[in-house]
């Protein structure tokens, strides 16, 4: 008892080792409500980080935000058509969701909206000032709202480097895959062929990169930045194939640290036996 009283919250902790464990968790999508799936990822990821620290490791807590993609083209168009700046500032996620849902309802019968959205996302990717300013505003406003949930849960992160952070880091990955002779042209898209599973799509026919490209860039960056002893991806089990492909590609690139990457999967929350959809509200 004397030991417990003396060591307090350090009781039972192992001696610190100078090694990092990276935990990728929570990762909500900007401008969308914090879902129950994200809540599970957040709680499981935080528990793993606490356990890693108790075992003497330095836990690097990463919130890989969903802050890039075609939905931002849709949001920019929706905001220009129906957005109310004051309403969004007062209640960002609720208002952005409202115009996002409206966009999908109208786009079902008006294909020109989707074309405008593609053009808007393209201008965002090309660094258009107005598009970037809107994107940054959506991101900051959403993050502020997420912070209230994290504060409530007593959860903190060391990094909020989301998908957008890797925009300038993907060409190097694609170049390395090409150099190592791993890219195959398939129906106009570049893929990495894998044994016992579907090929991993690296760039689409229009040259656009995908989740896999981004996650490869993220894995490379984190290895360099943190030299992680182990990396845990706390993501729902519907992404199991994606992570199998990802780890496999890293192994094919000749990196033996691919075996230190682990997907921590969990089940899906259903409503009346069905998956929930943000775009349908």
In a domain, 280, yes or no: no
233: its two tokens: 């991806």
Residue 271 is assigned to a structural domain of this protein? no
- Whether 274 is in a domain gets the answer no
Q: Give dist(CA 110, CA 243) in Å, integer.
A: 36
Rounded to 10 degrees, what is the CA torsion of 204, 139, 217, 258? -110
Contacts of 222 (CB under 8 A, 6+ apart): 22, 60, 62, 228, 231
In a domain, 276, yes or no: no
Q: How many domains does the chain have?
A: 1
Does some domain include residue 184?
yes
Residue 263: CB partners within 8 Å, gap ≥ 6? 232, 233, 235, 239, 240, 243, 244, 247
pLDDT digits (tens, 9 = 90+) for 92-144: 889 999 999 999 999 999 999 999 998 999 899 889 999 999 999 999 989 99
Domain limits for position 240: 2-264
- CATH number of the domain encompassing residue 24: 3.40.50.620
Within-domain flag for 269:
no
pLDDT digits (tens, 9 = 90+) for 33-61: 887 778 999 999 999 999 999 999 999 99
Q: What Å distances lie between residue 162 and 19, 72, 169, 200, CA to CA?
A: 23, 14, 12, 21
| pLDDT tens readout for residues 141-155 | 899 989 999 999 999
Query: How far is residue 1's CA from residue 3's CA, in Å, rounded to a whole number?
Result: 5
pLDDT band with cut points at 50, 70 and 90 for residue 269:
confident
Residue 273 located in a structural domain: no
In a domain, 254, yes or no: yes
User: What's the pLDDT at 134?
Assistant: 94
250 confidence band (pLDDT: 50, 70, 90) = very high
Higher per-residue pLDDT: 32 or 64: 64
Query: Would you state the structure tokens that stand for residue 206, as one six-digit string?
Result: 């229009």
DSSP 186: E
């Amino acid at each position: 008892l004397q030991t417990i009283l003396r060591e307090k919250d350090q009781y039972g902790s192992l001696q610190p080792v100078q090694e990092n464990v990276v935990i990728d968790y929570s990762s909500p999508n900007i401008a969308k409500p914090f879902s129950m799936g994200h809540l599970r990822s957040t709680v499981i990821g935080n528990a793993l980080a606490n356990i890693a620290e108790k075992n003497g490791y330095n836990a690097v807590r990463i919130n890989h935000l969903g802050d890039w993609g075609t939905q931002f083209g849709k949001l920019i168009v929706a905001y220009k058509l129906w957005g109310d700046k004051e309403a969004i500032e007062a209640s960002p996620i609720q208002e952005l969701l409202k115009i996002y849902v409206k966009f999908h309802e109208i786009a079902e019968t008006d294909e020109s909206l989707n074309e405008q959205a593609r053009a808007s996302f393209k201008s965002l990717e090309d660094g258009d000032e107005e598009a970037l300013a809107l994107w940054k505003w959506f991101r900051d406003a959403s993050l502020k709202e997420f912070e209230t949930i994290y504060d409530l849960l007593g959860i903190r992160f060391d990094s909020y480097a989301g998908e957008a952070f890797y925009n300038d880091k993907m060409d190097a990955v694609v170049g390395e895959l090409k150099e190592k002779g791993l890219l195959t042209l398939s129906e106009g898209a570049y893929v990495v062929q894998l044994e016992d599973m579907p090929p991993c799509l690296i760039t689409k026919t229009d040259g656009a990169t995908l989740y896999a490209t981004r996650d490869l860039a993220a894995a490379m960056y984190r290895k360099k930045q943190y030299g992680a002893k182990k990396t845990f991806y706390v993501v729902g089990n519907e992404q199991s194939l994606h992570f199998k492909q990802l780890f496999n590609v890293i192994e094919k690139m000749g990196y033996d640290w691919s075996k230190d990457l682990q997907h921590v999967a969990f089940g899906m929350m259903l409503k009346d036996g069905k998956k929930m959809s943000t775009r349908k509200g």
